[in-house]
Copies of this chain bind each other. A is one copy, B any other.
Amino acid sequence: MELYIEQFKALGDKTRLAIIWLLNSVPGDLCVCEITDAIGESHCNISRHLKILKGAKLVKEKKEGRWVYFDLAKPQDQVQGYIMQALATIPADAFLEMAARLQLRLSLRDGNRCVDGVKSNNWRRVVNKVNGKNDINEK
């Protein structure tokens, strides 16, 4: 019961729902800095939100040296199973720009692993290149 409340509370936030949606949009896991650049918020904020999601057992983390990868957690019971299904069903409408930024960010990976920190030079370069063609990531 307490866990359900914690889970619903964790999901009642724009940034955290965005994180969940990002994790649903890829087959594997995502690095903290990839999530940060895709959403475009400060890294400390993303870190905090990830901690809340982890506390609610909605995501699980895997450490690889300095990098920390997050993925959706396996449902602990039937209730959470339905919650995860609901989350997987959320349409892309409100997340199109963010989804494009994530794909761009994932193109920087090497051997399917993240090799760029938050707001790296590589990231700035590809963003600028894409911005020259269309207005992705434009405010």
Contact = CB atoms under 8 A, between A and B. Distances in A.
B5 A12 contact: yes
Interface of A: 1, 4-14, 17, 78-83, 85-86, 89-91, 93-95
This protein's copies in its complex: 2
A82 B81 CA distance: 9
A11 B8 contact: yes
A12 B9 contact: yes
Given A8-B8, A8-B12, A9-B12, A1 B93 contact: yes
B14 A5 contact: yes
Given A4-B90, A8-B11, A81-B86, 12 more contacts: A6-B12, A8-B9, A9-B9, A12-B12, A79-B89, A79-B90, A82-B83, A82-B86, A82-B89, A83-B86, A85-B85, A86-B86
Most chain B beta carbons < 10 A, residue from A12, A79, A80: A12
